Amino acid sequence: MNNKDIAAAAEQLWSAAETGQAITPLREQFAHFGADEAYAVQDINTERRLKAGGKLVGRKIGLTARAVQKQLGVDQPDFGMLFADMAYCDGEPIPWKVLMQPKVEAEVALVMEHDLPEPGITVAQLLRATAFALPALEIVGSRIANWDIRFVDTVADNASSSAFVLGNTPVKPQQLDLRLAGMVMERGGEPVSLGAGAACLGHPYNAAVWLANKMASLGRGLKAGDVVLTGALGPMVVVSPGDVVEARINGLGSVRAAFGDKA
């Protein structure tokens, strides 16, 4: 896959996000489309978004469930970028027009207090560098038609990210046993997803350490103030216009995402 094809793939995803018209899976359009090429596509659109005035506020980790990794034929998670315009307050209506094929998953968010610029980061260093943890909802979406994705498709598509909501109850991570933290997510008051911290690579900190080292190895280490969405604690659920989704995570409290009506 040459640079021209990488640029063409990036342009397709950019256009899909702007028009709301999903595209054919990239893996079917371009030969030799591997992980390196997929991240190169993501990089192009990240830089384009930054040049357009976007502000990078963190990272998200995807594919943290072993079963999903096996399904997609990979042995590690992926990552995507979080921008300021993707962030919504607890209960603030999320405009339906900014979403494509949305689904919601409950996660633990970590907010960094110190930079982590160098590789070789341990769990102990991660905990010392973390200011607090919050309950979070990530709204994932796909610019690929019918969610027909494999690893390279989702990586190129910024790890299928769309928006996120953080709760308002910061807790010091040293006070938590997140591996055993239970999660229940309700849509319209009905339980739709159950899980626990152990579903996220065995522990949300495992995912965060992977990300911190990955970012440092790429010369883009996590910085103070960055938000890290560590990965789903349970199955994602489809949402519709007007839905309200609430997740409760033991020890962290609750967080709500409210979806606007379809325009």
Distant-in-sequence contacts of 88-93, Cβ < 8 A, 24+ apart: 88/163, 88/164, 88/165, 88/257, 89/165, 89/166, 90/165, 90/166, 90/167, 90/168, 90/255, 90/256, 91/256, 91/257, 91/258, 92/165, 92/258, 93/258, 93/259, 93/260
Read off the pLDDT of residues 252-261 as tens digits, 9 standing for 90 and up.
999 999 999 9
Read off the pLDDT of residues 111-125 as tens digits, 9 standing for 90 and up.
999 999 999 999 999
pLDDT for residue 69: 74
CATH number of 56-259: 3.90.850.10
What's the chain's average pLDDT?
Answer: 95
In terms of Cα–Cα distance, which of 245, 94, 243, 239 is closest to 183? 245
Read off the pLDDT of residues 181-202 as tens digits, 9 standing for 90 and up.
999 999 999 999 999 999 999 9
* CA distances for 127 relative to 43, 59, 110, 202, 263, angstroms: 28, 17, 10, 16, 43
**CA pair distance 197, 205, nearest whole angstrom:** 9
pLDDT for residue 263: 63
**Does the structure show a pLDDT above 90 at 175?**
no
The gap between the terminal CA atoms of the chain, to the nearest Å, is 39
Domains in the chain: boundaries: 56-259
